[in-house]
Amino acid sequence: MGNLNENHDPKETNFKSKKISINPFWLIITILAAVILSSVITALSLEAGTEKAVNVGTDTRSEFSKLYSVYDTISTDFYDEVDNEELIESAIDGMVQGLDDPYSEYMNMEATDAFQETVTGDFEGIGAEVIQEGNRIIITSPMRGSPAEAAGIEPGDQIIAVDGESLEGMNTTEAVQLIRGEKGTDVVLTIVRGESEPMDITVTRDTIHIDSVTYEEFDGVGHISINRFQQGTTEEFEESINQAAEDGIEDIIVDFRYNPGGLLSEAVTLINQFIPEDEIALLLEDSDGQQMPLMTEGPHNENTEDMNLHILINEGSASASEVFAGALDDHFEDVIIAGTQSFGKGVVQQTQEFSDDSMLKYTNTKWLTPEGRWIHNEGITPELELVNPDYYRVEILNEDDVYTEDQESETVISIKVALETLGYEAGTINEVFDETLTSAVESFQEDNDLEADGNVTGETSRLLMSELRNYINENDAQLEYLISYITGEHGAGEIEEIAEDNARHIEIPTLEELQEDASENSTE
């Protein structure tokens, strides 16, 4: 068969040149007829064709025919104006939700920005932590060197409005969305400080970086807390571990409580601080059951060689924090894992970014410990079980509810536990609001300049929860238990019994219940 681009010599052609003469009138008529016929054919094909305009330039696989049909029907026949872009976004979101996987999600541009903040530790805002106390939004602490600190924001300030918009009825997430904004822009916070009148404070937003690692020393024990795995976590950890070595610390606690995970690459390099080069950090398993080891790639930190390592976990320790705990547990017999059962997330997510700055995050592999253990939905069991005291699980009091003498309610147990924790004699810990509890409430009210009527409601409820929260922040029970064990003040069995005795009144939720709650609210 000849090449379509092959060249021919015009001298060798078999066709003879002919002179053709056409009447100009009929030439014009012919051209007009062709144009009209072409237009009619195009219109008919668009009107009656089964493939509508939406399919042009798209994947026409048969499994998408219903999707195209629904899109076309809604776009043309819905009674009101339709945002076609929103339809497509919703379709993608619904497709991902169809996976029934709490760790896979489609994120629009705003959600992608928030996700990137968790990866880098950077955001644009004022640099202050806020909490919700009842219906109030309270500053717990401005970050050191932050715009909030420079503007004079103080712990305990109540924010009642942002740029003139009242925060009444808003939760902390909604309030934070108003406070955050582009670097260099101003935000006006209306605050109430103590009994003073509301005042406006203008804060200029900036880029804020949140460190993922903190280091402290208690009774000769180094405490390194890692709140998540983000870019630079290993570098921060290395600085802390080197500081501990310089301080002559031999016992180290690596604290992963409420660490939801983060970047797997940072978990591997953190493992590499303790484990030499070319050792298995974890195993990845694909859908076909094929396993691929992830190896440590550099020399380990020699400062870790002579340190006694204790890993502190709880029900909020998940994913990358479990990767670290599992790897160190498999590689070293003398590593002690303490706390409570970890969350149990044994799968890994991959991300795919799109040109409009949206992102797809989806589960693509399982991960297993170096010895092949899959901890998904089971978690890691601590060798030293340290349950938090009852006061960590008290029911949050609603300021509108009223609790008074002679009532019986499960909530009364929480009231008694809270008062006992704060040093008031509340009597037998049960569901009965008795005279002893009334006296304890009156004493609490007198100490806080409240009307001493013995009823728990309104400001009494709010202040009781606030005081308890402050107590918890200043008294880390699990950490104190572990330090007392490390320093030899209590043996393993003894400290476990003390922890259990302090947790006997309020039911501890099961790991399955915690996983179910986390799955329902997960953005991870």
**Structural domains for the chain:** 123-208 (2.30.42.10), 213-385 (3.90.226.10), 391-475 (1.10.101.10)
User: What is the C-alpha separation between 507 and 514, in angstroms, rounded?
Assistant: 13
Q: Would you state the pLDDT for residue 59? A: 52
Contact yes or no for 224/207 (Cβ under 8 A)? no
Q: Would you state the pLDDT for residue 110? A: 85
User: What is the C-alpha separation between 112 and 115, in angstroms, rounded?
Assistant: 5
Residue reference for tokens 């237009």 = 39
For the chain, the C-alpha Rg in angstroms (whole number) is: 33
Q: Assess whether 390 carries a catalytic annotation.
A: no
Would you give per-residue pLDDT tens digits along the chain (524 residues)?
333 333 333 333 333 334 444 455 555 555 555 555 555 444 444 444 444 444 444 456 788 899 999 999 999 999 999 999 999 999 999 999 999 999 999 999 888 988 998 899 999 999 998 888 778 899 988 888 899 999 999 988 999 999 999 999 898 889 998 999 999 999 999 999 987 899 999 999 999 999 999 999 999 999 999 999 999 999 999 999 999 999 999 999 999 999 999 999 999 999 999 999 999 999 999 999 999 999 999 999 999 999 999 999 999 999 999 999 999 999 999 999 999 999 999 999 999 999 999 999 999 999 999 999 999 999 999 999 999 999 999 998 988 999 999 999 999 999 999 999 999 999 999 999 999 999 999 999 999 999 999 999 999 998 999 899 889 989 999 999 999 999 999 999 999 999 999 999 999 887 677 666 655 443 33
Give whole-number Cα distances, 210 to 63, 120, 181, 399, in Å: 46, 9, 16, 33
Indicate the residue type of 25. Answer: F
Q: Would you state the pLDDT for residue 44? A: 44
Q: Would you state the pLDDT for residue 135? A: 82
Among 345, 390, 414, 461, the active-site one is 345
Contact yes or no for 216/274 (Cβ under 8 A)? no
User: What is the C-alpha separation between 257 and 321, in angstroms, rounded?
Assistant: 9
Tokens at 141, concatenated:
């602490």
Contact yes or no for 255/223 (Cβ under 8 A)? yes
Q: Would you state the pLDDT for residue 62? A: 86
Residue reference for tokens 């760790």 = 103
Q: Is the dihedral of CA 325, 521, 118, 150 positive or negative?
A: negative
Q: Would you state the pLDDT for residue 2? A: 36
Contact yes or no for 511/462 (Cβ under 8 A)? no
Indicate the residue type of 275. Answer: I
Query: In terms of Cα–Cα distance, which of 265, 371, 270, 366 is closest to 326?
Result: 371
Q: Would you state the pLDDT for residue 474? A: 92
User: What is the C-alpha separation between 394 and 415, in angstroms, rounded?
Assistant: 8
Reported residue count of the chain is: 524
Among 104, 225, 240, 319, the active-site one is 319
Among 330, 390, 434, 476, the active-site one is 330
* Predicted confidence (pLDDT) per residue in 134-167, tens digit: 788 999 888 888 999 999 999 889 999 999 999 9
Residue reference for tokens 């060249």 = 7
Q: Assess whether 330 carries a catalytic annotation.
A: yes
Q: Would you state the pLDDT for residue 60? A: 63
Contact yes or no for 425/440 (Cβ under 8 A)? yes
Q: Assess whether 345 carries a catalytic annotation.
A: yes
Percent of the chain with pLDDT over 70: 86
Residue reference for tokens 């030899």 = 488
Pairing of strands 251-255, 336-339: unpaired
User: What is the C-alpha separation between 329 and 337, in angstroms, rounded?
Assistant: 8
Q: Would you state the pLDDT for residue 49? A: 43
Q: At 128, give phi and psi (nearest 5°).
A: -145, 140
